[in-house]
Structure 1
Amino acid sequence: MATILIVDDEYLIAQILEFALEDEGYGVVTASNGKKALDVIDRERPDLIITDFMMPTMDGLEFARAVRKRPELQKVPILLMSGAQGSVGRASPDLFAAVFDKPFKLEDITLMVNQLLGRPPGIDRS
């Protein structure tokens, strides 16, 4: 089962994404900021990361740069969610596979995740 790491200091957003992605058949772990997410990465091996931009301790851009410094995570897709800093993410295609402006459509994120990871076995939504 593919594992997705969600990094967001807004608990409700992280929880909504977690429920939606688990419903799609993915394993999900969460962290409330970039620094905590790096600790989670040490324990888990996420196949995809979804991060917010504006967070305490370490913002999404700093977090993505820290992830990309790790050789084993070079190819892990990172999706950025941002309320106001989407242009920063779009200017860094080497860091982010996609950028979603808040408010986003949950269906758009799940579609992108399915495209990047493939639909988990046993999940048929047709």
Structure 2
Amino acid sequence: MTGIVLVVDDEFGIAELIDAVLTDEGHRVLTAINGRQGLAMMAKERPDLVFLDYMMPVMDGAEVLSAMAGDPSVAKVPVVLMSSMPEATVAERCSGYTAFMRKPFKIAQVVTLTVKLLNRDGPDGQGAL
């Protein structure tokens, strides 16, 4: 299944890499450089999946997750939270993400997570990972 994927990351190289890989896989990819811009893009067009950086200026990943949880139109959109910090450290500061991807990551991880999250089963899209 292909879908609309939003990549929210202030590191241009990472956003560009994920964009290129997922576009090659047939997905439509949108990019944003910070959380505020990402939320604005979600308001215009609901993504099927979000790759979200944890540490960003203007509005970080934890703030975006909180805002998404409070918005019924995007509350159930799966989110891959990305960080160079260990997941345990990040999990202490935020919750609500579907999967965690540690930077630096392998391209295969991006493709595998995308396929897995876009093809989850269950009535609410919350199938097991």
TM-score range, shorter chain: 0.7 to 0.9
1:110 deviates by 1.1
Distance across 1 between alignment mates of 2:111 and 2:29: 13
1:74 deviates by 1.8
Distance across 1 between alignment mates of 2:108 and 2:27: 15
The runs of 5 or more residues in structure 2 that have no matched partner are 120-129
Cross-structure match for 1:117 = 118
1:30 deviates by 0.5
Distance across 1 between alignment mates of 2:24 and 2:78: 20
Cross-structure match for 1:78 = 79
Cross-structure match for 1:50 = 51
> Cα RMSD (Å) of the superposition?
1.7
The TM-score normalised by the length of structure 2 is: 0.84
Change (3 A) 1:100 1:24: same
1:20 deviates by 0.4
Kindly report which structure 2 residues correspond to 1:73-112, keeping only aligned pairs within 5 A, or say none: 73-84=74-85, 86-91=87-92, 95-112=96-113
Summarize deviations over 1:45-97 as a string: whole Å, max 9, x none. Answer: 10110010110011111111111110121211000110125324445895111
The one-letter amino acid paired with 1:110 is V
Distance across 2 between alignment mates of 1:2 and 1:60: 22
1:17 deviates by 0.2
Distance across 2 between alignment mates of 1:53 and 1:79: 10
The runs of 5 or more residues in structure 1 that have no matched partner are 119-126
The TM-score normalised by the length of structure 1 is: 0.86
SS in structure 1 opposite 2:29?
strand
Change (3 A) 1:74 1:108: same
Task: Check whether the contact 1:52–1:60 (CA below 8 A) recurs between aligned residues.
Answer: yes
Task: Check whether the contact 1:4–1:29 (CA below 8 A) recurs between aligned residues.
Answer: yes
Task: Check whether the contact 2:80–2:97 (CA below 8 A) recurs between aligned residues.
Answer: yes
Distance across 2 between alignment mates of 1:71 and 1:105: 32
Cross-structure match for 2:36 = 35
